[in-house]
A = this chain, B = another copy of it.
Amino acid sequence: MQLTRLTDYGLRVLMYAALTPANRKCRIADVAESFGIPRNNVMKIVNKLANEGFIYTTRGKGGGFQLGKPETEIYIGEVVSCLEENLQIIDCESYCGCPIIPSCRLRRAFSSARVAFLQELDSYTLKDLVGSAAPLRRLLRIASR
């Protein structure tokens, strides 16, 4: 029941942005280097996060990205819902003609479990993930001003 790697990267990008002082922009290359993840994947997820309004990007020299809203207003369940391409716990579509679909109660059980999962994640905001910021800034070598 793992999330996709891109969702994971997306959460890291948001944490990085939350840890960066508001007067500075984040650069894709820095995020990729700090976490040791491929630059083109960071670029892909930055675009997706921008489309969803979690960050906004500025092009050109001195460009980069910043949080699109306060870190206390970014709920982790919402982020995961937006980034995961498939929230089906079991992919019924991949069974050609699963015989029990008309009376299947498993889907209902998984649907309510998925809601419980996302609701629990929504009890955390991006602010909760970065905490006091200082320890994570040290680990990621982000200057505090």
What residues of chain A have their CB less than 8 Å away from a CB belonging to chain B?
A: 1-3, 8, 11-12, 15, 34-36, 76-77, 84, 86-91, 95-100, 102-103, 105-106, 109-110, 112-121, 124, 128-131, 135-136, 139-140
Residues of B within 8 A of A102 (CB): 135, 139
* Bound Cα distance A114, B80 (Å): 14
Residues of B within 8 A of A116 (CB): 116-117, 119-120
Residues of B within 8 A of A86 (CB): 1-2
Q: What 14 new A-B contacts, CB under 8 Å, besides A2-B90, A99-B139, A100-B140?
A: A1-B3, A1-B89, A8-B90, A12-B100, A34-B99, A35-B95, A36-B96, A77-B113, A100-B136, A105-B128, A109-B121, A112-B120, A116-B116, A116-B120
